Amino acid sequence: MKKHAFKTLTLVLALVMAFVIGVPASAGQLRASRELASCTVTMYADGNGKVTAEFTTVAVGVADEVGATKVVIQRKVGSSWVTAQTFTRSSYNNLIGQNRISYSNEVTHNGTAGQQYRAIVTAYAKIGSGSTSDDYTTNTVIAT
């Protein structure tokens, strides 16, 4: 009986600590700002050398604009990361949503199987005359 009570108490304390401290569940990070609440970014391999970067940007309220102003796909060369492709809001008009709290989208790069890739997403939110942008880096994947 004492062992069961101790295990239960340990589990309850662990859960309380997890909620109080907060445990990130993905490659996204939470950062406080006046307009930008969070951004979750993920990279995955699609096959045939293709890699896709997904993002979900969340504003603190209904935003005039929310999403990403830029997504840079990088390839690892030796110990360095080099730009493989850049998507900007001026050349790829599906990076920004208007009059909403959050916006999700993805971009795909035709890479080379066996190479390592990651993406840097510049998340953005504009509410009224204020705006915030911040960079978020995805996980690294190997193109298949």
pLDDT for position 31: 53
Structure tokens at 13: 């304390």
- Please indicate, yes or no, if residue 9 is contained in any of the structural domains: no
Residue 22 burial (CB count, 10 A): 9
The single-letter code of the amino acid at 83 is: T
- Please indicate, yes or no, if residue 17 is contained in any of the structural domains: no
Q: Name the residue range of residue 132's domain.
A: 26-142
Residue 120 belongs to domain with CATH number? 2.60.40
Q: Is the dihedral of CA 45, 47, 50, 54 positive or negative?
A: negative
**Secondary structure (3-state) at 60:** strand
Of the candidates 130, 124, 127, 129, the residue with the CA atom closest to the CA atom of residue 39: 124
What's the domain count of the chain?
1
pLDDT for position 33: 75
- Please indicate, yes or no, if residue 20 is contained in any of the structural domains: no
- Please indicate, yes or no, if residue 35 is contained in any of the structural domains: yes
When mean pLDDT is compared across 17-31, 34-48, 70-84, 94-108, the lowest value belongs to 17-31
Examine the pLDDT at 66 and tell me if it is beyond 80. Answer: yes
Place of tokens 């890479």: 111
Q: Give mean pLDDT, residues 95-113.
A: 98
- Please indicate, yes or no, if residue 7 is contained in any of the structural domains: no
